[in-house]
C-alpha cells in the first residue's frame, strides 16, 4: 500500500457529469405508413430513431463536452470513472472546466428556450414528415431532462473499506497512462505524418503536449521519464526551424510510431532511419512552462536518467489549448 499511498497523495480526482440531448427518439409504429414509401428518409431517421431536431443545432453542446474531456486528458489520466489529475494542475484545470461549463450552460439554456421554435423549423424543412416530427418531439418532452454539466473534484483519503480495490485501481494507472499516450500518438500519425515526406513545427505540438502530461504524472510510472527522455532526445537533434525533411522527418515519424506502439526503445525502425540505435542517457527536466519555484514531488528515477534544472529542448510551435 506504500506505492498506492504515494500516488494517491499526489492526485486529485475530477469527475465529469455531462448530459445533453441527442435530438432523437425511438421510431414508433404510428411514425410509419405501412409500406416502403412510409419509411422516413435517412435525413430524419436512422438505426430505429427519429430526429425531431436539426442535429447541427446541438453540435455546440457536443463540441463543448468533447473539449472538457480533452482538457482532462491533457493533464490527467482516466481513473475511477473520472480523471486522476496531479495536485499542482488541479486548480488550473477546474478553472478551465468552469469556463467551459459556463458556455455549456448558456448554450443549453438557449436551446431550451428556443426548443419549440427549433422543432418547428426542422418540421418545416421536412414538410412531408412534419406531423411525425412534431409527434416525436412531444413524446421526447415527457421524459427529457435539461442538459447538465457538473464538475466534481475530490481527493482520496485512507481506504478504510476495500483497500485492495483501490490498490488494484492504482496499479492500472501506468497502463492507462501509456494507452492514452499511444492513442494520441496514433491519431497524430494518421493526421499529420502518414503518407507524407515532411512536416512543419506545428506537427510537433503533439510531442510537447504529451511531454507536459507525462511530466505532471511522472510519479505514476517510471516509464513516463523514459518516454520524456526519448522525446527530448529526438527534439534536441532537430534543426532550429522546419519544415523537417529526410533524416529529421524520419526520426520524428519513428518517435511517433514508438509512442503509438507503447515501445520506447525496441521497435525496429530500419526502414525509417537506417538502423536501430540504442537510446542514450538524456537528462529529463520539467516542461519550460512549469514555474521554477513550484515544488514538485520527486519520483523514483531509473539509474540511467537524472533530473536536472535546464529546460528541455522545445522546437518552435503553435500553442493550442485543445487537441
Q: Does the model's pTM come out above 0.75? A: no
Parts of the chain with a pLDDT under 70: 1, 28-39, 47, 142-143, 158-162, 263-323
CA distances in angstroms from 188 to 183, 184, 248, listed in the order given: 9, 6, 17
- CA neighbor of 284 nearest in space, from 237, 201, 227: 227
Same domain, yes or no: 32 and 61: yes
Same domain, yes or no: 123 and 213: no
Is residue 112 domain-resident? Answer: yes
Is residue 159 domain-resident? Answer: no
Same domain, yes or no: 313 and 195: yes
Same domain, yes or no: 181 and 249: yes
Half-sphere exposure of 30 (CA within 13 A, CB side): 7
Same domain, yes or no: 198 and 294: yes
Is residue 162 domain-resident? Answer: no
pLDDT digits (tens, 9 = 90+) for 100-126: 999 999 999 998 898 889 888 888 888
Same domain, yes or no: 9 and 130: yes
| Torsion sign over Cα 66, 71, 75, 76 | negative
CA dist 85 and 76 (Å) reads 5
Please give the order of strands across the beta sheet that includes 24-26: 24-26, 49-51, 45-46
Is residue 165 domain-resident? Answer: no
Looking at the chain, how many residues does it have? Answer: 323
Same domain, yes or no: 297 and 239: yes
Neighbour count for residue 160 (Cβ, 10 Å):
6
**Residue 155 confidence (pLDDT):** 87
Neighbour count for residue 9 (Cβ, 10 Å):
13
Domain of 273 in residue numbering reads as 172-323
- 45 neighbors 51 (Cβ within 8 angstroms): yes
pLDDT digits (tens, 9 = 90+) for 219-237: 888 888 888 988 999 999 9
Is residue 64 domain-resident? Answer: yes
Is residue 166 domain-resident? Answer: no
CA dist 232 and 313 (Å) reads 6
Same domain, yes or no: 203 and 139: no
Same domain, yes or no: 128 and 178: no
- 110 neighbors 153 (Cβ within 8 angstroms): no
Out of 127, 154, 181, pick the residue that ends a domain: 154
Show the 3-state SS of the chain: CHHHHHHHCCEEEEEEEEECCCCEEECCHHHCCCCHHHCCCCCCEECCEEECCCHHHCHHHHHHHHHHHHHHHHHCEEECCEEEEEHHHHHHHHHHHHHHHHHHHHHHHHHHHCHHHHHHHHHHHCHHHHHHHHHHHHHHHCCCCCCEEEEEEECCCCCCCCHHHHHHHHHCHHHHHHHHHHHHHHHHHHHHHCCCCEECHHHHHHHHHHHHHHHHCCCCCCHHHHHHHHHHHHHHCCCCCCCEEHHHHHHHHHHHHHHHCCCCCCCCCHHHHCCCCCCCCCCECCCCCCCCCCCCCCCCCCCCCCECCCCCCCCCCCCCCCC
- Structural domain total, the chain: 2
Q: Record the cell numbers describing residue 57, joined without a space.
A: 443545432
Is residue 161 domain-resident? Answer: no
Same domain, yes or no: 180 and 317: yes
Same domain, yes or no: 179 and 207: yes
Is residue 37 domain-resident? Answer: yes
**Residue 206 confidence (pLDDT):** 92
Out of 154, 181, 198, pick the residue that ends a domain: 154
Same domain, yes or no: 258 and 125: no
Out of 95, 123, 154, pick the residue that ends a domain: 154
Amino acid at each position: 500500500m506504500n506505492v498506492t499511498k504515494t500516488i494517491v497523495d499526489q492526485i486529485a480526482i475530477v469527475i465529469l457529469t455531462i448530459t445533453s440531448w441527442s435530438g432523437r427518439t425511438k421510431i414508433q409504429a404510428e411514425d410509419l405508413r405501412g409500406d416502403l414509401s412510409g419509411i422516413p428518409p435517412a435525413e430524419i431517421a436512422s438505426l430505429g430513431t427519429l430526429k425531431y431536431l436539426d442535429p447541427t443545432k446541438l453540435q455546440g453542446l457536443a463540441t463543448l463536452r468533447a473539449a472538457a474531456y480533452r482538457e482532462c486528458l491533457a493533464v490527467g489520466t482516466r481513473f475511477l470513472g473520472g480523471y486522476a489529475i496531479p495536485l499542482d494542475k488541479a486548480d488550473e484545470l477546474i478553472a478551465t472546466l468552469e469556463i467551459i461549463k459556463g458556455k455549456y450552460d448558456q448554450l443549453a439554456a438557449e436551446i431550451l428556450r428556443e426548443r419549440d421554435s427549433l422543432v418547428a423549423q426542422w418540421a418545416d424543412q421536412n414538410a412531408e414528415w412534419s406531423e411525425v416530427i412534431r409527434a416525436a418531439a412531444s413524446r421526447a418532452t415527457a421524459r427529457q431532462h435539461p442538459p447538465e454539466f457538473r464538475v466534481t473534484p475530490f481527493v482520496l483519503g485512507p481506504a478504510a473499506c476495500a483497500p485492495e480495490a483501490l490498490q488494484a485501481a492504482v496499479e492500472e494507472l501506468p497502463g492507462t497512462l501509456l494507452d492514452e499516450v499511444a492513442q494520441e500518438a496514433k491519431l497524430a500519425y494518421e493526421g499529420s505524418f502518414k503518407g507524407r515526406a515532411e512536416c512543419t513545427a506545428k506537427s510537433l505540438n503533439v510531442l510537447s503536449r504529451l511531454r507536459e502530461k507525462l511530466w505532471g504524472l511522472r510519479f505514476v510510472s517510471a516509464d513516463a521519464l523514459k518516454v520524456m527522455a526519448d522525446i527530448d532526445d529526438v527534439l534536441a537533434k532537430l534543426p532550429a526551424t522546419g519544415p523537417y525533411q529526410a533524416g529529421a522527418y524520419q526520426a520524428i515519424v519513428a518517435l511517433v510510431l514508438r509512442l503509438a506502439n507503447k515501445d520506447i526503445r525496441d521497435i525496429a525502425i530500419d526502414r525509417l532511419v537506417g538502423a536501430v540505435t540504442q537510446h542514450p542517457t538524456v537528462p529529463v527536466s520539467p516542461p519550460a512552462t512549469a514555474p521554477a519555484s513550484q515544488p514538485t514531488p520527486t519520483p523514483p528515477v531509473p539509474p540511467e536518467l537524472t533530473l536536472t534544472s535546464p529546460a528541455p529542448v522545445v522546437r518552435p510551435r503553435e500553442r493550442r489549448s485543445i487537441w
